[in-house]
Amino acid sequence: MRHRVAGRQLGRTKEHRLAMRRNMVASLFQHETISTTIEKAKEVKPFAEKLITLAKKGTLPARRRAIALLGNRDIIDYKDGEAVRKGTVVGKLFSELGPRYLDRLGGYTRIIRLSLRRLGDNGQLVLLQLVGVDDSSKKQTRKRRSRKKAKETVEVAEIAEEQATTEAEQAKEAAETEEAKDQTGQTQ
């Protein structure tokens, strides 16, 4: 019996599950969307989110931890029939994906169920995607603000506008005094 044993076995050994999880997450980071079964996607999602959280830290120990967990395979692109190395998966994770989600607290991936089924075993197929910053499929929602917050934002905007105008006036005065000094220097 496997009472209270966490995780799915997926019909694989422990080593095979680990290798499959690493490969799927590396492909997810490389292509930013993959198609797989619902069970595999649910197993891979937490691992991918933990790695993105590591990438948000951006430190050297975090990078080493990500390499230990994921490996550091190359990203290869084929142009004109030749293989061209574009970087590594961990490099993309720390240079692109980590900074993309700095202001997001979690939920970096999503699972979208497809109506398709796999031909061999009729498995339910899904898309596992990274959530994009400027995602066109996400609906625009109106944010409801309290009146107090709305007044605060208006006040902050007015203060910023006043500061910008005073800085512009100061720069204009400085330029005029500079021109006056240049003109008096030329007449002498």
The Cα–Cα gap between 36 and 28 comes to: 11
**Per-domain residue ranges of the chain:** 14-130, 144-188
User: Tell me: the pLDDT tens digits for 9-65?
Assistant: 999 999 999 999 999 999 999 999 999 999 999 999 999 999 999 999 999 999 999
3-class DSSP assignment, residue 112:
strand
Exposure letters 46-56 (e unless 16+ CB within 10 A, then b):
ebbbebbebbb
What pLDDT does residue 149 have? 57
Q: Which CATH class is domain 14-130?
A: alpha beta
The per-residue pLDDT for 137 is 45
CA 187 to chain centre: 61
The tens digit of pLDDT for each residue in 157-175 reads: 677 677 777 777 777 777 7
pLDDT at res. 176:
78
Note whether 76 and 54 are within 8 A (CB). Answer: no
